Structure 1
């Protein structure tokens, strides 16, 4: 009886953990991150061990250099040191292309400028090379910072049960309590 109880507890823990892990993995998709405003007001993307947050000028017009900012964050959106990092950003909108080399501006901020026009079709590809204790690592992320984003509530509705843990109990979902009575377990 003790073994059966421990087995059920272990199995339930495993199922719940698997559900949490799948929810965590889902949380880092571009679709999900599009519903989250970065801590500095920019668009977030996952890149390896990092979240990159890109900020472009919302009213940028061709013919003048506009700011390009990239924040390095961890997966909880806490600042990560950018001291040993360098980045390039390729910005494409229609037939217009621009490139920016970003350098350290603050502890977790790389910045530079480029000649671009803020438009819904603008796409940016960021390549960041970071020195770590294991050597240099290059991470890439793709952004669409001016593309309209669905509201978070609509996003959750589209995916329905994707955020639930979806654990199921075995056919024998009765538990024996200290008084010897079995009670059904409902969800």
Structure 2
């Protein structure tokens, strides 16, 4: 029985990387490899993706690439990504993205290839910790 208790505790360790807190640009963080991906989904369902280092800093697009696919059990929508503002990728869906879907981000940061970062849409709003949210409108 001891072994079972240990296994149940393991998933909570995955929260140690700050995925439950907004990233430096207010997006959702995943850690697919030796870097972090930060995702912000726009109202138009486009995705802004920052490739950050281990300290959540230095977003880069050099020697980097992002492939994004929205997938649910009915459909798959690919995104077309391009560099925006020289520091992140802006990815536009090639079709209508279902409201409830999984966004799969395959990122390479400075030639470091990451695993798939999987984001569930719609993204969960962050729990407000200290101050009340200002200017966040939910439609």
Q: Into which bin does the TM-score normalised by the smaller protein fall? A: 0.5 to 0.7
In structure 2, the gaps of 5 or more residues are 1-12, 130-139
Task: Tell me how far 1:90 sits from its aligned partner.
Answer: 0.6
Matched, 1:117 2:97: yes
Distance 1:49 1:112 in 2: 22
Distance 2:98 2:53 in 1: 27
Distance 1:87 1:49 in 2: 15
Distance 1:150 1:86 in 2: 27
Partner of 1:144: 120
Partner of 1:105: 84
Distance 2:39 2:60 in 1: 16
Matched, 1:43 2:43: no
Distance 2:63 2:25 in 1: 21
Task: Tell me how far 1:149 sits from its aligned partner.
Answer: 5.5
| Normalised TM-score (structure 1) | 0.51
In structure 1, the gaps of 5 or more residues are 1-23, 61-65, 154-187
Partner of 2:135: none
Q: Secondary structure at the match of 2:62?
A: coil
Partner of 1:56: 41
Matched, 1:27 2:16: yes
Q: Secondary structure at the match of 1:52?
A: strand
Partner of 2:8: none
Q: 1:99 to 1:144 in 2, by over 3 A?
A: same
Q: Which entry has the higher C-alpha Rg, 1 or 2?
A: 1
Q: 1:25 to 1:39 in 2, by over 3 A?
A: same
Distance 1:100 1:57 in 2: 13
Q: Provide Cα deviations, 1:58-99, integer angstroms capped at 9, x if missing partner.
A: 4x4xxxxx4221111123221332122111101124523211
For the aligned residues, what is the CA RMSD?
2.7
| Normalised TM-score (structure 2) | 0.66
Q: Provide Cα deviations, 1:84-141, integer angstroms capped at 9, x if missing partner.
A: 211110112452321113232233301121033362x32111112334xxxx332121
More helix by percentage = 1
